[in-house]
Chains A and B, each alone.
Chain A
């Protein structure tokens, strides 16, 4: 009898946590998008005020950003400084394909972020700044969508997890 009670409590708690984990992907996406916007703002400021070359620029931004987004910039700067002869846009899409999959961003967000690779280090300062601002605008739109989706979904998945736990516990016992 006691074992039944304990195991049903364990089942309920674990299903609630599963629902919470799935809900986390939504709130992670919102956080990642806002970090991304902050990093892009820093990038724009650094490009317009100092003429640092690309590897150093990327590693500065990477160190100043929070961990998830910063690691992408740091990795790009590291591979660039090895001077293995990659073009920046090829390198950028390669890094985003490998690292970006582990993050909770949607494919649309990654596509927009990849556009950055086509323009950095390619044209003069004003054009680069314009491109960065364009990318920031598009990401801002996605960020607002992400906030709406988060509000709608996080509570839903937590409640679903709890109810599913109850249902399974009752059916089994």
Chain B
């Protein structure tokens, strides 16, 4: 609902990270494949973290769990 583009971006990054992982594994460079997977996770996390903190604020305010 809010900002559907973000979902598409995350999906595209996921696809690219998995293709990169496959290519690097097949070429024998497993450490670098692991590294790019981690980098992909961090990038997606950075893109999403604002929304997640907003979600927690909303939940706290809604249930008045201060």
Binding site for B on A (CB under 8 A): 152, 156, 159-160, 163, 166-167, 170-171
Partner of B13, one of A156, A160, A170: A170
Interface check B16, CB cutoff 8 A? yes
Complex-state Cα separation, A152 to B28, whole angstroms: 10
Which residues of B (4-57) have their CB < 8 Å from a CB of A?
Answer: 9, 12-13, 16-17, 19-20, 23-24, 27-28, 43
Whether B19 and A163, one on each chain, are in contact in the complex, defined by CB atoms closer than 8 angstroms, is yes
The answer to whether B23 and A167 have CB atoms under 8 Å apart is no
Please give me the 3 A-B residue pairs with the lowest Cβ-Cβ distance, nearest first: A156-B27, A170-B12, A167-B16
If A163-B19, A163-B20 touch, whether A152 touches B13 (CB-CB below 8 Å) is no
Contact A170–B16 (Cβ < 8 Å): yes
Complex: how many Å from CA A163 to CA B23?
10
Is the CB–CB distance between A152 and B27 below 8 Å? Answer: yes
Contacts of A156 in B (CB 8 A): 23, 27
By a CB distance below 8 angstroms, the chain A residues around B12 are: 170
State whether A170 touches B23 (Cβ < 8 A).
no
B34 smallest CB distance to A (angstroms): 15
With A170-B9, A171-B43 as known contacts, state yes or no: A163 contacts B27, CB within 8 Å.
Answer: no
* Chain B residues whose CB sits within 8 angstroms of the CB of A159 once the complex forms: 23
Given contacts A163-B19, A163-B20, contact A171 B27 (CB under 8 A): no
Shortest distance between the CB of A20 and any CB in chain B (Å):
16
Q: Enumerate chain A residues within 8 angstroms of B13, measured Cβ to Cβ.
A: 167, 170-171
Starting from the known contacts A163-B23, A171-B43, 8 additional A-B residue pairs (CB-CB under 8 Å) come to A152-B27, A156-B23, A156-B27, A160-B23, A163-B20, A166-B16, A167-B17, A170-B16
Q: What are the residues of chain A within 8 A of B27 when measuring CB–CB?
A: 152, 156
Assembly CA distance A166 to B17 (angstroms): 10
In the assembled complex, which residues on chain A have CB atoms less than 8 Å from the CB atom of B23?
A: 156, 159-160, 163
> Can you list 15 A-B pairs, Cβ within 8 angstroms, ordered by A?
A152-B28, A160-B20, A160-B23, A163-B16, A163-B19, A163-B23, A166-B16, A167-B13, A167-B16, A167-B17, A167-B20, A170-B12, A170-B16, A171-B13, A171-B43
> Quick one: which of A152, A166, A170 has the most chain B CB within 10 A?
A170
